[in-house]
A = this chain, B = another copy of it.
Amino acid sequence: MAKATVKPVVGVDLGGTKILAAVVDGENKILSRFKKRTKLEGGPEGLTERICQAVEGALVTAKLTPADVAAIGVGAAGPTDTAAGVVVTMPNLGIENLPLGKRLTDRFSVPARIENDVNCGTIAECRLGAGKGAADVLGVFPGTGIGGGILVGGTLLRGRNQAAAEIGHTVIDPNGPLCACGVHGCLEAYASRLAIVRDIAAAVGRGEASIAGEYIRPDGTNRLRSKALARGVTEGDKVITDVLERAARMLGEAIGSAINLLGCELVILGGGVTEALGSWLVNRVAAAAEKRALKIAFKGVRIVQASLGDDAICLGAALLAREALAENK
């Protein structure tokens, strides 16, 4: 089919800190991007409005109107009811059961597909990025939290309640640190950026010497982001590397266990923390995963870094929106 006959779609990455919209053409090339910060103010209506503004911004940048695109796909940082087009919850933003699909369709008069963000990232990496050609895949995206995406035979594993692949809430140690979900010792309580920053801040609070002190203010604000973690590794900062070594080991424990359970052929590590730390993190995670996994389960398994960076979720959301169109025809 000639490129000109396939309408572009808009893919939206709806994260806890930013909204990124991109216009994606029929060959999965990004024609334009538009970014807005996710804000707490305004509740569900305010958030919806900002998402619409991001979509419009991406369209205008690409010199397109809504009539020029075939669909909008959204990857949301939380569980979604894809069949109903609903963002089930984004607790940090006070979002519960937001019918975002309907809102976008009402506004732009095109079909809209709402999906979990890490599902989108995993799909994008498997179709276009580091996982091309793989069919049985686990995607793990450590960021503010830790999201997961699972492909079985090339198809997203959604699970009964469309809440599958929550590797961030698999147990590492029942007596471990308290997790945001309310129980102790989930992976997220060790290896999310929030947990990593918590442990580094505690060490700094105890008076241990670290460059992290430059990012943690006496007024309690904390500007320790993934890039500062990478700087700590590069400069051999003991506090930062010790905390990250443990986080990597625990990621490997959870991933090795998941390999034993799922029998996947490929694990893709993505998200901001992975992007900042690169092979330093991937190698440590892979070593710990290999140790936990049974020899027979680990044979031939590859653990790789995601390659699509910040575009992964937009691209996956766009891909899934396009696939949904094809299924409905």
Q: Is A253 an interface residue (CB 8 A)?
A: yes
Taking a contact as CB atoms closer than 8 A, the residue among B163, B164, B174, B250 that contacts A249 in the complex is B174
Q: Is the CB of B260 within 8 A of A169?
A: yes
B-contacting 9-mer, from A6-14, A153-161, A207-215: A153-161
Q: Which of A62-70, A99-107, A289-297 contacts B (4 or more CB under 8 A)?
A: A289-297
Which among A49-57, A124-132, A262-270 touches the partner chain? A262-270
Chain B positions within 8 Å of A183 at CB level? 291-292
Check A245 for interface membership: any CB of B closer than 8 A.
no
Main SS at interface, chain A: loop
Determine whether the beta carbon of A297 is less than 8 Å from that of B261. Answer: no
Residues B163 and A136 in contact, CB atoms below 8 Å apart:
no
Does A171 lie within 8 Å of B263, measured CB to CB? no
The residue in chain B whose Cβ has the minimal distance to the Cβ of A298 is: B161
The 6 closest A-B pairs by CB, nearest first: A159-B263, A164-B263, A170-B257, A166-B260, A160-B265, A163-B297
Tell me which residues across on chain B come within 8 A of A254, comparing CB atoms. 171
Q: A183-B291, A292-B183 are in contact. Are A261 and B160 (CB under 8 A)?
A: no
Question: Using an 8 Å CB-CB cutoff, how does the interface string of A13-50 with B read, 1 for contact, 0 for none?
Answer: 00000000000000000000000000000000000000
Asked if A163 contacts B294 (CB within 8 A), the reply is yes
Q: Is the CB of A171 within 8 A of B257?
A: yes
A150 to B150 alpha-carbon distance, docked (Å): 14
The oligomer's copy count stands at 2
Indicate if A94 sits at the interface (CB-CB under 8 A).
no
Query: In this assembly, does A172 line the interface, its C-beta being within 8 Å of a C-beta of chain B?
Result: yes
The answer to whether A173 has its CB under 8 Å from any CB of chain B is: yes
Cβ 8 A contact of A263, one of B157, B253, B265, B293: B157
Q: How far is the CA of A81 from the CA of B287 in the complex (A)?
A: 26
Whether B297 contacts A157 by the Cβ 8 Å rule is no
Residue from B164, B170, B262 in contact with A159 in the complex, judged by beta carbons closer than 8 Å:
B262
* Chain B positions within 8 Å of A163 at CB level: 260, 263, 294, 296-297
In angstroms, Cα B260 to Cα A260, docked, is 15
Q: Distance in Å from the Cβ of A302 to the closest Cβ of chain B?
A: 10
* Given A89-B296, A163-B297, A292-B183: A263 touches B158 (CB 8 Å cut-off): yes
